[in-house]
Structure 1
């Protein structure tokens, strides 16, 4: 049994970690650390956790972490993990960062897109990008994981097989992303106010979204050619769920049936990616509160394009679930452990 700590214990990502860890036989939650609310009971903030968490949230103390925790999840905003992880040097703690601090290989890129000082290059280079289905062997050897963003998880899982199989051209990729309001976090803003969000749909961060360089970096790595994408995100009036509908120019003559078979072969040993049969397309409800990514594909002969729809739950496969999946890989446990649950429906 490994002892677990969560830093940033009051956000939605942390709450999903707590929920999922309750059923994990190899991990035990020992510490919930909150800078702003240490000393309080988490059930006072989230009453649904009454009777599950007894100890109050704690203040960060690096030395006690080294002695008491084996695995540490950073469910924090960008800018925090990069300051704390170097202080754990010399310990055997496995660190999983759910923020974007270690996702971009270039410090200057991080500073441009995130507007913050980047982590030391040495730390960035030591972190492994935790896209579980694409980099499992690297994850198994890692001690620091940079957990992917929610939109990149959906987009990369949907696009990488098409690039690997040379189905689409490297240029002209368009990604239309839509997410529920929980993706914006718990702190209320004018954008997430009920009267602003209900019965409304909003494009946001056009041309400036911090997930753009992340998607481009890992598509480029897979294609071994520079890739630039047109990526637009939208906020939709639902609590959770995320869909990326993607468009690529066909590189060769093919059919929907043939591409689906290629995708099914690509993901046949990856239990959390489910590729739909021809004519079937996923909805966000199909993966609600689960660690699945469901993918639907259509080859449009008329426009010579492929259309790929990829759905995930932004808080599970897009955050806490994939983080636990990565820990399972890091420790040689069954990849599905603590995660193999039926999605909640309706």
Structure 2
């Protein structure tokens, strides 16, 4: 039976990406679309590229009959998301794409996001949505917290290496190049074409990026000790994609073998032959992650480069992968499309 889906926050980039993916998903049907600021409008007027789909018009959240919904995706900004989810039916399955339920400790959430958690009582039931590492918990969950796109990219790169014990945990540097869509659709001066194009800049320098909270939480839990990475994101003038270059202390061939072993049966994670590195061109518009390993001229050091699409595998594609598990559908259903190239 086709599962009925609601998307809350359908007018943002991740909302539009959810619609694009669900449109050809054989097990899901979009039954309701909410976007309070654009309620009453058609999706065709908000996103003309979706006009052929015959989608329901946008409504406010309180206009949705959730008794008729099997699962809701919440694609709202942090802080707003927790306030909306808190008031949804307690039996409704939810995949949240915001940051609001990613950090298990409400104090850590307040530290990184600057406001007290408005639904801290729900934090205990939220499952961290990095699908490849939390499958069993996700399948049984009612509320799943999608990861940050940078956090997902870094974790696909590093988690297997911590588990295999092949890197120095005090020597992890993550340098990420991030496409502009990761900043969302709202108007920002620094994202205007004249401000962004033909340039390239670091931001959140010195350990202030919020996704560091996820790295601290997940890597430390995995290692059984505090693990703090150096992480600097850079804004690149591209619409989609994240390219992560990790500088690590460890034997390159052992690192490559650990990644191959970890991802041998994963449908969306591709470990390239040793010495090859990926491009964001190779994963654009898809749910795939490409990871490459090469040695460094300095002995005992390695460089690992990984690429994913921030709107798909880094957000909406990952959310659908999680929803498939929660609804008892095949995990890869609706997600095996090939990347767009060129």
User: Scaled by the length of structure 1, what TM-score is found?
Assistant: 0.95
Structure 2 equivalent of residue 235 of structure 1: 235
Say whether 1:267 aligns with 2:263: yes
The answer to whether the 8 A contact 1:290-1:339 is kept is yes
The answer to whether the 8 A contact 1:101-1:119 is kept is no
Q: Matched residues in 2 for 1:303 and 1:117: separation?
A: 46
Query: How many angstroms does 1:110 deviate by?
Result: 1.1
Query: How many angstroms does 1:338 deviate by?
Result: 0.1
Structure 1 equivalent of residue 320 of structure 2: 324
Q: Deviations over 1:130-184 (max 9, x none)?
A: 1011111111111100000100110001001111110111112111011111111
Q: Secondary structure of 2:65's partner?
A: helix
The number of residue pairs the alignment matches comes to 340
Query: How many angstroms does 1:65 deviate by?
Result: 3.4
Q: Matched residues in 1 for 2:305 and 2:213: separation?
A: 21
Say whether 1:75 aligns with 2:75: yes
Structure 2 equivalent of residue 51 of structure 1: 52
The answer to whether the 8 A contact 2:252-2:300 is kept is no
Structure 2 equivalent of residue 300 of structure 1: 296
Of 102-111 and 232-241, more deviation after overlay is shown by 102-111
Structure 1 equivalent of residue 97 of structure 2: 98
Structure 1 equivalent of residue 42 of structure 2: 41
Query: How many angstroms does 1:89 deviate by?
Result: 4.2
Q: Secondary structure of 1:6's partner?
A: strand
Q: Secondary structure of 1:139's partner?
A: helix
Query: How many angstroms does 1:242 deviate by?
Result: 0.5
Structure 2 equivalent of residue 129 of structure 1: 128
Q: Matched residues in 2 for 1:14 and 1:89: separation?
A: 21
Q: Matched residues in 2 for 1:90 and 1:255: separation?
A: 48
Q: Matched residues in 2 for 1:144 and 1:230: separation?
A: 30
Structure 2 equivalent of residue 167 of structure 1: 166
Query: How many angstroms does 1:303 deviate by?
Result: 4.5
Structure 2 equivalent of residue 120 of structure 1: 119
Query: How many angstroms does 1:262 deviate by?
Result: 2.2
Structure 2 equivalent of residue 277 of structure 1: 273
The answer to whether the 8 A contact 2:42-2:56 is kept is yes
Q: Deviations over 1:206-259 (max 9, x none)?
A: 221110111111111111111111111110011111011111222xxx442x43
The two structures, once aligned, show a CA RMSD in angstroms of 1.4
The answer to whether the 8 A contact 2:252-2:302 is kept is no
1:215-234 alignment, distance < 5 Å? 215-234=215-234
Structure 2 equivalent of residue 61 of structure 1: 62
Of 79-88 and 3-12, more deviation after overlay is shown by 79-88
The answer to whether the 8 A contact 1:102-1:119 is kept is no
Q: Secondary structure of 1:138's partner?
A: helix
Query: How many angstroms does 1:261 deviate by?
Result: 2.6
Structure 1 equivalent of residue 179 of structure 2: 180
Query: How many angstroms does 1:301 deviate by?
Result: 6.0
Q: Deviations over 1:61-109 (max 9, x none)?
A: 17x4331211100111001221122223432x21000000001112122
Q: Matched residues in 1 for 2:201 and 2:120: separation?
A: 36
What residue ranges of structure 2 are gaps of 5+ in the alignment?
none
Q: Matched residues in 1 for 2:65 and 2:211: separation?
A: 31
Query: How many angstroms does 1:302 deviate by?
Result: 1.8
Structure 2 equivalent of residue 312 of structure 1: 308
Query: How many angstroms does 1:299 deviate by?
Result: 3.1
User: Scaled by the length of structure 2, what TM-score is found?
Assistant: 0.96
